[in-house]
Amino acid sequence: MKSGSPIVRLGLVQQRIRATRQQTLEAAEEAIVAAHERGAQFVCLQELFADPYFCQVEDPQYFALAEPSDGALVSRFRALAARLGISLMIPFFERRAPGLFHNSAVIAGPGGEQLALYRKMHIPDDPQFMEKFYFTPGDLGYMAVNTPALRVGPLICWDQWYPEAARLTALRGAEVLVYPTAIGWLPSEKAGEGAAQLDAWKTIQRAHAIANGTFVVAVNRVGQEGDAETGIEFWGHSLVVDPMGRVLAEGGQDEETLIVDIDRSAIFETRKWWPFFRDRRIDTFADLQKRWIDETP
């Protein structure tokens, strides 16, 4: 475990999109400042927090929203991290090169320095979530990043459904898996499947925490985006889960900033009794690199 105090205060900024980008950024800054004033040492924003979730349609105009990792958006929030002396996870639409874009996040340190750049590894392609049109799968791999307060494992949204991603990040020593997220209900599905979808989403976060003996954080947006009949109602419910799978805090469906203390010593204590890393049969896992296992009768 990373040295220092075992108690770390986290801030999860759950917001809706404003009428203009400037208003959205100002609201995010205000929430980060408020989280700092409440003692947060590490703060995370939601996936693609600066703009409406444009992946509901395939439209080349939205490539204009992308910026490089040292562009104006990330630089603005790195400067805020430096002013407040906090660590900050900044999700953004990355323009890497002409025709090459990623769904990414920078982790900024309390001096405003870039501690890491993570690129979303798993890219969905579902109704209203047509991300493959915009994003190239990440090529930087899974990582664990040292901040002054704790060792963070950055992941993004669709990554949160893959136990392999959680495991490989935890195996690098991440004390908390952090998932900036944009997920919600489609109107055609909410009545019949909405409760089950939300429950599945919360269950998979709890399962990652239990299976890896680590903390898990998911930060989702809220609000209706797009047409009421065909758009997405983002469901919020940002949450923090401890290594036993207990939900330490959970948001609702409105804007809020969750402030949550985690005790990193719980990782050591939990893994003493649930030593899943010790008992892994790594000699039997080679088939995990296959897309499917075709057994010959």
Model confidence pLDDT, tens digit, residues 178-208: 999 999 999 999 999 999 999 999 999 999 9
* Confidence category of residue 229, pLDDT binned at 50, 70, 90: confident
Sign of the alpha-carbon torsion through 162, 165, 171, 173: negative
Catalytic residue among 44, 47, 94, 225: 47
* The pairing of beta strand 129-130 with beta strand 151-154: unpaired
Task: Please give the pLDDT value at position 7.
Answer: 97
Could you tell me if 90 and 74 are in contact, meaning their C-beta atoms sit under 8 angstroms apart?
A: yes
**pLDDT, average across residues 216-227:** 96
Task: Please give the pLDDT value at position 3.
Answer: 76
Class of domain 7-289: alpha beta
**pLDDT, average across residues 97-114:** 98
**Which amino acid belongs to residue 124?**
P
* Confidence category of residue 140, pLDDT binned at 50, 70, 90: very high
* Confidence category of residue 2, pLDDT binned at 50, 70, 90: confident
Task: Please give the pLDDT value at position 20.
Answer: 97
Inter-residue long-range contacts of 195-199, CB under 8 Å, 24+ positions, other chains counted: 198/235, 198/237
Residue 157 a catalytic site member: yes
**pLDDT, average across residues 40-62:** 98
* The pairing of beta strand 232-235 with beta strand 184-185: antiparallel
Residue 1 in this model has a pLDDT that exceeds 80: no
Domain spans, the chain: 7-289
**pLDDT, average across residues 226-248:** 96
Q: Cα dist. 36→10, 21, 59, 85, 285 in Å? A: 9, 23, 37, 9, 43
Residue 142 in this model has a pLDDT that exceeds 90: yes
Task: Please give the pLDDT value at position 295.
Answer: 81
Catalytic residue among 120, 131, 175, 233: 120
**pLDDT, average across residues 101-118:** 98
pTM assigned to the model: 0.96
pLDDT digit string (tens) for 58-67? 999 999 999 9
Catalytic residue among 157, 175, 225, 233: 157
Query: How does the average pLDDT of the chain come out, rounded?
Result: 97
* Confidence category of residue 151, pLDDT binned at 50, 70, 90: very high
Residue 120 a catalytic site member: yes
Distance linking the first and last C-alpha atoms of the chain: 47
Please state, in angstroms and rounded to a whole number, the distance separating the CA atoms of residues 229 and 222: 17
* The pairing of beta strand 256-263 with beta strand 7-14: antiparallel
* Confidence category of residue 297, pLDDT binned at 50, 70, 90: low
